[in-house]
Amino acid sequence: MPVVPLKLQPREQVPLSLQPREERGDGPVGRIRRTQGLLPGILYGHKQPPYAFKTETRALERIFGRYGQNALFVLSFAGEERAPEQAIVREVQYHKVRGSILHLDLLRIDPTEKVRISVPLHTVGNPIGVRLNGGALQHSITHLEMECVVAEMPAGIELDITDLDVGDNVHVADLLGQESRIVTDPEIAIVSVLAPRVGGDGAAAAGEGGDEGDESKQD
């Protein structure tokens, strides 16, 4: 089986300004969304008290539109004498009908800390076995677990599967030589190129039916 090239997608560091939030409850929080264009949120983690904040909705939407939810946020605190902090997205709550963002949870991180994270897995390329030999591509998993220093966390992992032919299977173990920080079970299959389905059974059945018909005519 050919080697499947692996590429790590860097996690971008993006500035985000937070304001302290005193508003609590559905009514007051809803008003800051409607009248101020601000989004409520909570910053957690590292044994520090939760910090209630609000931030500009449009600024956050632009960040998500460009980087998705994989950005590493560098937080500043408007009107407060607080040192900048770094955080990643913990949870985003969306409106069930409109799809707009309702609430943002951020998790504090220490750039030197080693963590275990789930990293999105993407494939690129159309395998030879599909393109030329009629095979079918099967994806088994969409994320890989990695253990690494926070400052080195990738936003995603990209696999080039162009050279895979019918019968080729890529397992986690096949990637460890390129990226030893992957901690997902090595035996797990990632992608497979399955053999094309053969329609011979139907043809054989039709042929058998034809023979029976000939014998009935001779009787």
| pLDDT value, residue 199 | 62
Are 147 and 176 found together in one domain?
Answer: yes
Mean pLDDT of all residues in the chain? 88
| pLDDT value, residue 27 | 83
Are 65 and 98 found together in one domain?
Answer: yes
Alpha-carbon span 171 to 121, nearest angstrom: 13
Residue 17 falls inside a structural domain: yes
Q: Give the burial class of 7: count Cβ atoms within 10 A of its Cβ; 0-12 exposed, 13-18 middle, 19 or more buried.
A: middle
Domain boundaries, position 90: 11-109
Are 104 and 119 found together in one domain?
Answer: no
Q: How confident is the model at residue 181 (pLDDT cuts 50, 70, 90)?
A: very high
| pLDDT value, residue 26 | 80
Alpha-carbon span 199 to 206, nearest angstrom: 11
For tokens 């304001």, what's the residue?
A: 19
